[in-house]
Structure 1
Amino acid sequence: MPAPSETTTTQRPLDADAFARYAVRDPLEVAHLLKALVEKRLLLTAFIDGGESFITLTLAVTDDGAVIVDACPDEIRNAKAGSAARLVCTTRLDNVKLQFALETPARIDYAGRPALRAALPESIIRLQRREFYRLPTPQTEPLVCVITHVPENGRRQEVLVRIVDISGGGLAVLVPPRELPFEPGTEYSQCSLRLPDGNPLPVSLKVRNLFEVEKANGVKVLRAGCEFMGLSNPATARIQRYMFKLERDRRMREEH
Structure 2
Amino acid sequence: MPEPSETTTTQRPLDADAFSRYAVRDPLEIARLLKALIEKRLLLTAFVDGGESFITLTLAVTDDGAVIVDACPDEMGNAKAGDAARLVCATRLDNVKLQFALETPTRINHAGKPALRAALPESIIRLQRREFYRLPTPQAEPLVCVITCASDDGRRREVEVRIVDISGGGLAVLVPPRELPFEPGTEYNQCSLRLPDGNPLPVSLKVRNLFEVVKANGVKVRRAGCEFIGLSNQATARIQRYMFKLERDQRTREDY
Shorter-chain TM-score: what band?
over 0.9
**2-structure distance, mates of 1:129, 1:68:** 29
SS in 2 for 1:168: coil
Aligned residue type for 1:140: A
Contact 2:130–2:167 (CA<8 Å) still a contact in 1?
Answer: no
Work out the number of aligned pairs and report it.
256
Q: Secondary structure at the match of 1:249?
A: helix
For 1:84 and 1:4, the matched residues in 2 are separated by: 27
- Amino acid in the other structure paired with 2:133: Y
Q: Compute the displacement of 1:141 (Å).
A: 1.0
Match of 1:232 in 2: 232
User: Where does residue 172 of structure 1 map in the other structure?
Assistant: 172
Q: 1:199 is paired with a residue of what secondary structure?
A: coil
Deviations 1:158-199 (A, max 9, x none): 000000000000000000011111000100000000111111
Question: How far 1:5 moved relative to its partner?
Answer: 1.2
Residues 95 and 129 in structure 1, CA contact (< 8 A), matched pair in contact too: no
CA spacing shift, 1:97–1:131, aligned 2, 3 Å: farther
Aligned to 1:113: 113
Residue pair 1:132, 1:169 contacting (<8 A) in 2 also: no
| Cα-to-partner distance string for 1:103-147 (whole Å, 9 max, x where unaligned) | 000000011000000000000000123476111111111110000
In 1, Cα distance between equivalents of 2:161 and 2:178 = 12
What is the RMSD of the two structures over their aligned residues, measured on CA atoms? 1.0
CA contact (8 A) 1:168 1:240 kept: yes
For residues 104 and 144 of structure 1, the distance between their equivalents in structure 2, rounded to whole angstroms, comes to 45
Contact 1:207 1:227 in 2 (8 A): yes
Q: Which runs of 5+ in 1 are unaligned?
A: none
Matched residues in 1 for 2:191 and 2:2: separation?
Answer: 25
TM superposition outliers: structure 1 runs of 4+ over 6 Å: none
Which residue in 2 is equivalent to 1:242? Answer: 242
Question: What residue is the counterpart of 1:73 in the other structure?
Answer: 73
> Which stretch of structure 1 is more off in the superposition, 63-72 or 5-14?
5-14
Partner of 1:59: 59
Partner of 1:41: 41
TM-aligned CA deviation for residue 151 of structure 1: 3.2
After superposition, give the CA deviation of every residue in 1:186-228 in whole Å (9 maximum; x if it has no partner): 0000000011111110000000000000000000000000000
**1:213 lines up with 2:213 in the alignment:** yes
Alignment of structure 1 residues 158-197 onto 2, 5 Å:
158-197=158-197
Contact 1:85 1:104 survives alignment (8 Å): yes
2:197 is aligned with 1:204:
no
Unaligned runs of 5+ in 2: none
